[in-house]
Structure 1
Amino acid sequence: MKSAARFYQELPVIDSPLAELLLTEDHFHAMPQTRHVVDTDIVNSTLGVNQGLHQEINLIATGSIIAVLNLAAKHATSIPFFFGGDGATFMIPKELLEPVLHALEIHRENTLRNFELELRVGSMQVADLDNYDNEFRMARFHVNEHLDIPIVLGGGLREVERIIKSRVFNSTSQTDNILDLSGMECRWDRIRPPKHKELPCNSILLTDC
């Protein structure tokens, strides 16, 4: 039986073709009701991109991921996440909700101070989805020897993101402003793909069923 705190680590890693995985519902497991979805995104990011700030926006979004993953590593756990270009969505065990929101609040303050861009941060417990009649099931898909990614079935995640973005997250007072972004690199050189070769895509798939 999977523990709620180690839900993602204990999911079986599926290395069958993606099309086959999506047709096999037994590979997908219900998200624990105690999990929290934490969502970050930059307010008016489309306007920022049109003003030439796409690199800064990607950097801020990546920073939120690094901050959360470094925190997860310190607690010897894995947190599934989805990168959205101007933000990210995480499935957080309840034990890490407070420190994750703490770290993201520091990142939000740093973002506003250094880039004058507003990073919106919000959260919602999976149990609250019962009122919206949406499924939320996850599988762990093996991409290559270095990468496994979460695959979600059902409209639950998208509904949670919609609800979170309609709310305003009230930050709590902070006792420090140190944020662990170790391991983060910023490289903006454009690299042309090799001719006549397919490139692997490390994106996350969200499927409404």
Structure 2
Amino acid sequence: MSKIAQELASASTNTEDFYADLKPFANFEQLTNFDRYLPLPDDWFIGVADVVQSTRAIEIGRYKAVNTVAAAVLVAITNALPRLGFPYVFGGDGATVALPGKYLDDVRYELARTAAWAEDSLGLVLRVTIVPVSEIRAAGHDVRVARYAASENVSYAMFTGGGVAWAETQLKKGEFAIHRAPLDAKPNLSGLYCGFGPIPTEQGVILSIIALPLEDQASYRALVADVLTLIEFSSRRSGHPLPEGGPLPSWLGGEIQRLLSRDSPHANLLTAAADALRAIKTRIVLAAGIRIGRFEPSKYRREMWQNTDFRKFDDGLKMTVDCSPEIAEAIEARLIFAERSGVCLAGTHRQKSAHLTCYVPSNIQSDHVHFVDGADGGYAAAAAKKRRVRLPRGTNGHYRANRSIDAGERPHRD
């Protein structure tokens, strides 16, 4: 019996509780302890979405729209299944989810509606697909998951094993494709908030980092340790791109946020004016720390900082950090050396600000989540080198030369 089969056989028969039963780890440095990652049950599936020609959209200044569509995928599914905690990852220009098979029809419906909304409201084409975990394993890959506790209130999924990357290649090929819903279909995007403007660097550079492991697992662990050490000891707040007190929203909320409210048959100029006034009130309340009922602005802003997903493992290390130009150079030099040594496939991108997209189901609860990306290219630009990316095979998350794809503008999305 294979190692995966043994692990699956020893798992709980109630596979719906698989993710809830995973014990979160709070020390991010443990992300390359691959023994923490457990295989998804065979009766689960992976849902993948990505924005077509996202790099072009970002080049013409539509990074907010791209990030909003990616976050909308996660918000739509969460709102449809509010009592179900499930693993997901925000990729900047796309998103990945994993859920039990019994929810396949629900997720297919939400993906189709989100794709329709993205195209009809924002003019962005969103590709979506669903791939059964059993199909991924039949193709020789795996999907393994761990939970990283970004704070005591929020945990984020970490993926390894190469199965997610393989599912994304199937998405680009049109396999398992889901067609968009009819015209004007709209998912429930309650709680999706896009009212922040660019969040400027405090140290000189917002650095987007991607480092995908190759076959030498020990050397890759050393690489990750070196990068994290550079950031931890040479950057304020461990490289966190948000100010520690939490950023303030734009005075008028931003175009995308206004669109979310206007995207209704009942919206009009009065609605737009009300949205603008609401945005002004929100900024004043947050800046002044004025408590309104059970809402505590200072607590909310502190939690916003704690709950942000600025570092993750999505079949490889991905980070958005605030650092000095000197530290950015040191990180880039270390990644170049590792890449030339055959340890990883890497890309970085520098910009002057970060962008934040949020999901706030309740402003008095502490489980609001915040997705961060670079505001001028971000993860998509970090992976914009043309290369041949080897898809990972096996259970340890490293990449072997079993199959290759043209990565184009990113290792796992275009």
TM-score bucket (shorter structure): 0.7 to 0.9
Contact 1:35–1:92 (Cα < 8 Å) also in 2: yes
Question: What root-mean-square deviation, in Å, do the aligned CA atoms of Structure 1 and Structure 2 show?
Answer: 2.3
Task: Give, in whole Å, the separation in 1 of the partners of 2:149 and 2:97.
Answer: 19
Contact 2:148–2:157 (Cα < 8 Å) also in 1: yes
Contact 2:52–2:124 (Cα < 8 Å) also in 1: yes
Partner of 1:20: 30
1:171 aligns with 2:179: yes
- 1:154-201 Cα distance to aligned partner (Å, 9 max, x none): 212211221222115243877x94521111111232334556622446
Contact 1:57–1:85 (Cα < 8 Å) also in 2: yes
1:4 aligns with 2:112: no
1:181 aligns with 2:289: no
SS of equivalent to 1:37: strand
Task: Give, in whole Å, the separation in 1 of the partners of 2:28 and 2:68.
Answer: 29
Task: Give, in whole Å, the separation in 2 of the partners of 1:53 and 1:193.
Answer: 20
- 1:68-125 Cα distance to aligned partner (Å, 9 max, x none): 111221xx21121111111101002111111111122112112211222211111100
CA drift at 1:152: 2.0
Pick 1 or 2: higher relative contact order, CA cutoff 8 A, min separation 6.
Answer: 1
TM-score by length of 1: 0.86
Structure 2 stretches lacking a partner, 5+ long? 1-10, 204-234, 241-307, 317-396, 399-414
CA drift at 1:205: 0.7
- After superposition, the Cα gap between the structure-2 partners of 1:188 and 1:170, relative to the gap in structure 1 and judged at 3 Å, is same
SS of equivalent to 2:150: strand
Which one has the bigger helix percentage? 2
Q: Which amino acid aligns with 1:165?
A: K
Contact 2:117–2:187 (Cα < 8 Å) also in 1: no
Task: Give, in whole Å, the separation in 2 of the partners of 1:31 and 1:182.
Answer: 29
SS of equivalent to 1:33: coil
Stretches of 4+ aligned residues off by more than 6 angstroms: none
Partner of 2:70: 61
SS of equivalent to 1:39: strand
Task: Give, in whole Å, the separation in 2 of the partners of 1:126 and 1:14.
Answer: 24
Matches within 5 A, 1:1-209: 1-2=11-12, 3-15=14-26, 17-23=27-33, 25=35, 27-73=36-82, 76-167=83-174, 169-171=177-179, 177-192=185-200, 197-198=236-237, 199-200=239-240, 202=309, 203-206=311-314, 207=316, 208-209=397-398
SS of equivalent to 1:98: helix
Task: Give, in whole Å, the separation in 2 of the partners of 1:4 and 1:122.
Answer: 22
Identity of aligned residues (%): 23
Task: Give, in whole Å, the separation in 1 of the partners of 2:200 and 2:94.
Answer: 26
Q: Which amino acid aligns with 2:179?
A: S
Structure 1 stretches lacking a partner, 5+ long? none
Task: Give, in whole Å, the separation in 1 of the partners of 2:116 and 2:170.
Answer: 23
Q: Which amino acid aligns with 1:85?
A: G
Contact 2:127–2:171 (Cα < 8 Å) also in 1: no
Task: Give, in whole Å, the separation in 2 of the partners of 1:179 and 1:23.
Answer: 37
- After superposition, the Cα gap between the structure-2 partners of 1:178 and 1:111, relative to the gap in structure 1 and judged at 3 Å, is closer
Task: Give, in whole Å, the separation in 1 of the partners of 2:34 and 2:187.
Answer: 41
SS of equivalent to 2:159: strand
- After superposition, the Cα gap between the structure-2 partners of 1:173 and 1:139, relative to the gap in structure 1 and judged at 3 Å, is closer
The aligned length equals: 204
- After superposition, the Cα gap between the structure-2 partners of 1:20 and 1:65, relative to the gap in structure 1 and judged at 3 Å, is closer
TM-score by length of 2: 0.46
Contact 2:145–2:157 (Cα < 8 Å) also in 1: yes
